């Protein structure tokens, strides 16, 4: 794939400034420039995507903003924030800063902050630094803890896990 390697380089000062709102500036090392725009130069309303309940999609999803999934998608998701709404289904690898699951997920999640809601159903591996699991959530798999630095330096996803 052609768009795997290029990273967004941000001066240290800018990162510091942004880290106030996002708490963790790591996403800018992972996030790609989309439409030629770096991650920090984005509008408030144009970076939220909704994939409706009637939508089925397969492939690679890259965004520097939020992605709400009400429908069913499979493949690879690379977002600042992924929200799987109740009824939403995601299958595949997810790299994000923040993941919230109220629907179904199967695959691998690489995210420092993960929240699984009451209606959430997770199968697979959740690599996290902090995780919240609501009472009633269903989890079948492992939730390996990783330090923040693991996500900051994560460039390529590991092929397999034993």
Partner 1 sequence: MTIFNRLNPGNTANAAPNPQGRQTMPDNTANQATAPESKRPQAVAQPLYAAAGTGGPMTSVISKALKITGQLESTENIQVDGQIEGDVRGLSVKVGNGARVKGTVYGDEVELAGTVDGKIEAKKVVLTGTARMQGDVIHQDIRIESGAYIDGHCKPDFGKGGKASQPSLKAVAGEKTSAA
Strands 121-127 and 104-110, sheet pairing:
parallel
Q: Pick from 15, 22, 29, 34: which binds partner 1 (CB under 8 A)? A: 34
Rounded to a whole number of angstroms, the minimum distance from the CB of residue 60 to partner 1 is: 4
Residue with tokens 């693991």: 150
Site size toward partner 1, by CB under 8 A: 41
Angstrom distances, CA of residue 15 to CA of 39, 62, 131, 145: 11, 21, 24, 25
Tell me which residues in 42-71 interact with partner 1 (CB under 8 A): 42-43, 46-65, 67-68, 70-71
Rounded to a whole number of angstroms, the minimum distance from the CB of residue 43 to partner 1 is: 7
Tell me which residues in 75-134 interact with partner 1 (CB under 8 A): 75, 83, 85-87, 100, 102, 117-118, 134
First to last CA, the chain: 25
- The count of residues in the chain is 162
Q: Are 98 and 116 in contact (CB under 8 A)?
A: no
Contacts with partner 1, residue ranges (CB under 8 A): 1, 34-35, 37, 42-43, 46-65, 67-68, 70-71, 75, 83, 85-87, 100, 102, 117-118, 134-135
């Amino acid at each position: 794939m052609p768009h795997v390697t290029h990273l967004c380089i941000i001066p240290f000062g800018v990162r510091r400034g942004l880290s106030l709102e996002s708490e963790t500036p790591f996403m800018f090392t992972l996030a790609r420039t989309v439409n030629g725009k770096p991650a920090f130069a984005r509008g408030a309303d144009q970076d939220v995507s909704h994939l409706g309940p009637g939508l089925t999609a397969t492939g690679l999803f890259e965004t520097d903003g939020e992605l709400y999934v009400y429908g069913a998608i499979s493949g690879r998701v690379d977002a600042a924030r992924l929200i799987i709404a109740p009824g939403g289904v995601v299958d595949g690898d997810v790299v994000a800063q923040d993941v919230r699951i109220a629907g179904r997920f199967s695959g691998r999640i690489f995210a420092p902050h993960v929240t699984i809601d009451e209606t959430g159903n997770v199968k697979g591996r959740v690599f996290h630094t902090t995780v919240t699991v609501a009472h009633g959530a269903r989890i079948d798999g492992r939730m390996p803890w990783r330090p923040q630095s693991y996500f900051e330096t994560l460039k390529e996803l590991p092929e397999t896990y034993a």
